[in-house]
Amino acid sequence: MRYISTRGASAPVGFVEAVLAGLAPDGGLYVPETWPGFSQDEIAGFAGRPYAEVAAAVLGRFAADEIPREDLLGMCQEAYAAFDHPAVVPLVQLAPDVFLAELFHGPSLAFKDVAMQLLARLSDHVLSRAGRTQTILCATSGDTGGAAVEAFRGRANTRIVAMFPDGRISEVQRRFMTTASEDNVRCLAVAGDFDACQAILKTALADKDLQRAVGLSAVNSINFARIIAQSVYYFTTAVALGAPHRPVSFAVPSGNFGDGFAGYVAHRMGLPVGRILVATNANDILARTFLTGVYARGAVAETQSPAMDIQSASNFERLFFEATGRDGPATAEAFAGFSAGQAIQVPASALQSMKLLFSGASTDEASTAREMQQTLKETGEMADPHTAVALSALRRDPGPGPTVVLATAHPAKFPEAVLAATGRAPETPARALALAGRPERFERIDADAAKVSAYVRTFAGA
Ligand SMILES: *Cc1c(COP(=O)(O)O)cnc(C)c1O
């Protein structure tokens, strides 16, 4: 399987190269040259299989020409053994047609573990075979950093630098990064918001000298391996609810649109998906885009669901590319313009094709809090604020048939917001309790790409 850039101006690469590079040299994102798929019988056959086996089957469709299937299976088994629920991603029923997919049973209590645990093993595997090392620079709106540090701490072939917006993530989120004591981990508190962190990352990744000097790589959801790993739970949860014999819909708390695009991938691979409801908080760039066809940055608002405080949803570029019939030059023009501050007008035919699968909705702060309270009262389940954003959107627009709401974080990761909304403090899992007493280690830095780049070089000894 070869991977091409959404901007059409980079040479195709293999799976390993796409995973290690993250961003394509022309600034685009990698997508497979053709979409692999499963027959309806193969999808039906996922029912009742262990999560790691389904993950290996999905991953195999993208990577088996470069990595032996038994190695892929071994990595999946190891990655998902780190989860504290035997189903890995259990389903909990909230109402006749509403189900929660609990994606938070991994080491950092958020859904990003699902992809990151696998990505760490994948990259270790390919780096050690190639005799290479890498430096991961990661920009986090809260949960990616913790998941990445948890996954990569102590790994022999990787250094990791996690950047987070200073003061804009929760204490638990911060501690998942800053309490790692391994030598290969560094944390940077950036004086800016998440979009500033992401802009620094993009600048660094476009810096060929830096890339060569330190083996720079990204684990943000621009990395296609993460998207593949996230498409797996669309399969496992839909099959548990009767797919492929009936379509299943999804409601997805969205920021960078990685999770939403993973649903698109599952759909392209043959899974009958009814609708993907893209739920944003007040930072509603995606919700607005699906409504109006204009992809335009707004000001970033701080909310109680900080992992979604984003006004530039990187993976939307992949959907734009697909919906325009894989028009690389048009995608390049649109997204280079977006980086330069312009809005993107999605062509009418592309918007129409997006709307066949996606709809968008934004949930404000009051409705998010009310949803946490209502969900607890009606079902006895505590939802974290991100999950509540999607539950609220679904309550207002239920749609036909069963819907799986992706529960993207454990409520204990956002105890203040949950307590304020429900009057009850979520129970803290042992994994989070253990962080409280540990010393933290991080440095403050200006929102300045040159300073971050210098820091990374020093750390890598380059
Ligand atoms: C990252 C994150 C999201 C947003 O996911 P995207 O793939 O960026 O859209 C939602 N909820 C939580 C808890 C997250 O950590």
Full DSSP string of 288-337: HHHHHSEE---PPPP-S-GGG--S--TTHHHHHHHHTTS-HHHHHHHHHH
Centre of ligand 1 to C-alpha 397, Å, is 21
Residue closest to 267 by CA, chosen among 355, 363, 357: 357
Ligand 1 atom closest to the CA of 147, numbered from 1:
15
State the DSSP H helix or E strand holding residue 370, giving kind and residue range, or none if neither.
Answer: helix 365-379
Q: What is the pTM of this model?
A: 0.93
Contact between residue 257 and residue 319 where contact means Cβ atoms under 8 Å apart: yes
Report which protein residue has its CA nearest ligand 1's atom 14. 307
Composition of the chain by helix, strand, coil, percent to 5: 45, 15, 35
- The partner residues of 23 in beta bridges, in order of sequence, read 29
Centre of ligand 1 to C-alpha 222, Å, is 13
Report which protein residue has its CA nearest ligand 1's atom 12. 408
pLDDT at 94: 98
User: Can you tell me the distance from the alpha carbon of 415 to that of 397, in angstroms, rounded to the nearest whole number?
Assistant: 28
Upstream peptide bond of 244 is cis (omega within 30 degrees of 0):
yes
pLDDT at 375: 98
Q: At what angle do helices 385-396 and 415-422 cross, to 10 degrees?
A: 50
User: Can you tell me the distance from the alpha carbon of 169 to that of 302, in angstroms, rounded to the nearest whole number?
Assistant: 10
Centre of ligand 1 to C-alpha 254, Å, is 6
pLDDT at 209: 94
Contact between residue 135 and residue 88 where contact means Cβ atoms under 8 Å apart: no
pLDDT at 363: 98
Query: Could you count the other beta carbons within 10 Å of the beta carbon of residue 325?
Result: 11
pLDDT at 143: 80
pLDDT at 308: 93
Could you tell me the two tokens for 439?
A: 């010393």
The residues assigned a catalytic role are 112
With a cut of 70, which residues of the chain have pLDDT below it? Answer: 220-221
User: Can you tell me the distance from the alpha carbon of 39 to that of 79, in angstroms, rounded to the nearest whole number?
Assistant: 26
In the sheet that holds 91-95, the strands lie side by side as: 91-95, 98-102, 403-407, 248-253, 273-280, 358-362
Centre of ligand 1 to C-alpha 23, Å, is 19
Contact between residue 313 and residue 286 where contact means Cβ atoms under 8 Å apart: yes
User: Can you tell me the distance from the alpha carbon of 236 to that of 182, in angstroms, rounded to the nearest whole number?
Assistant: 34
Residue closest to 107 by CA, chosen among 175, 155, 19, 169: 175
Residue written as token pair 């069963």: 402
pLDDT at 276: 98
Contact between residue 51 and residue 237 where contact means Cβ atoms under 8 Å apart: no
User: Can you tell me the distance from the alpha carbon of 455 to that of 78, in angstroms, rounded to the nearest whole number?
Assistant: 33
Ligand 1 atom closest to the CA of 258, numbered from 1:
7
Q: Which of the listed residues 104, 116, 119, 143 should we mutate to test ligand 1's pocket, taking the one with most ligand atoms within 8 A of CB?
A: 143
Q: Which of the listed residues 105, 119, 254 should we mutate to test ligand 1's pocket, taking the one with most ligand atoms within 8 A of CB?
A: 254
Ligand 1 surroundings by CB, under 6 angstroms: 110, 112, 142-143, 221, 253-260, 307-308, 386, 408-409
